[in-house]
Amino acid sequence: MAAHTRTTTTTLIPMTITLTDSALLRLLQLGSAALPVGGYSFSQGLEYAVEIGWVSSLDSCDDWLSLGLRDGVGGLDLPVASRLYRALEDGDQDAFQYWNDFALAARESRELLMADEAMGQALLRLLRQLPQPLPDTASGMQASFLGAFVATAWQWQISESACQIGLAWCWLEAQIAAATKLIPLGQTQAQQLLSRMQTALPPVIAHAASLDDDALGATLPGLAMASALHETQYCRLFRS
State pLDDT tens for residues 161-175: 999 999 999 999 889
| Average of per-residue pLDDT across 211-228 | 87
Q: Give the separation between CA 10 and CA 150, rounded to whole angstroms.
A: 29
* Confidence class for position 106, pLDDT limits 50, 70, 90: very high
- Own/partner contacts of 136-139, CB < 8 Å, gap of 24 or more, are 137/88, 137/93, 137/96
Q: Residue 163: count other Cβ atoms within 10 Å of its Cβ.
A: 25
Residue 220: the pLDDT is: 85
d(CA 118, CA 142): 10
The whole-number pLDDT of residue 128 equals 82
Q: Which residues contact 212 (CB under 8 A, 6 or more apart)?
A: none
| Rounded average pLDDT over 114-139 | 79
Helix (H, G, I), strand (E, B) or coil at 6: coil
CA-to-CA distance for 43 and 67, rounded, in angstroms?
Answer: 15
Q: How confident is the model at residue 1 (pLDDT cuts 50, 70, 90)?
A: very low
Whether 100 has a pLDDT exceeding 60, the answer reads yes
Mean pLDDT across the stretch 143-171?
90
The reported pLDDT for the residue numbered 105 is: 93
Q: Span 140-145, mean pLDDT? A: 76
CB-based contacts of 147, cutoff 8 Å, min separation 6? 84, 96, 99, 100, 103, 120, 138, 141
Pick from 67, 45, 103, 33: which is nearest to 224 by CA? 45
For residue 124, pLDDT beyond 90: no
**Cis before 135 (ω within 30):** no
Percent of the chain with pLDDT over 70: 84
Compute the distance between CA of residue 31 and CA of residue 29 in angstroms, rounded to an integer: 6
Whole-structure pTM value: 0.86
Higher pLDDT, 221 or 20: 221
Return the minimum-mean-pLDDT range out of 39-43, 55-59, 105-109, 151-155.
39-43
Mean pLDDT, to the nearest integer, of 127-147? 75
- Per-residue confidence band for 234, with pLDDT thresholds at 50, 70 and 90: low
Residue 15 has pLDDT above 70, yes or no: no
185 within 8 A of 64, measured Cβ to Cβ: no
pLDDT at 236: 64
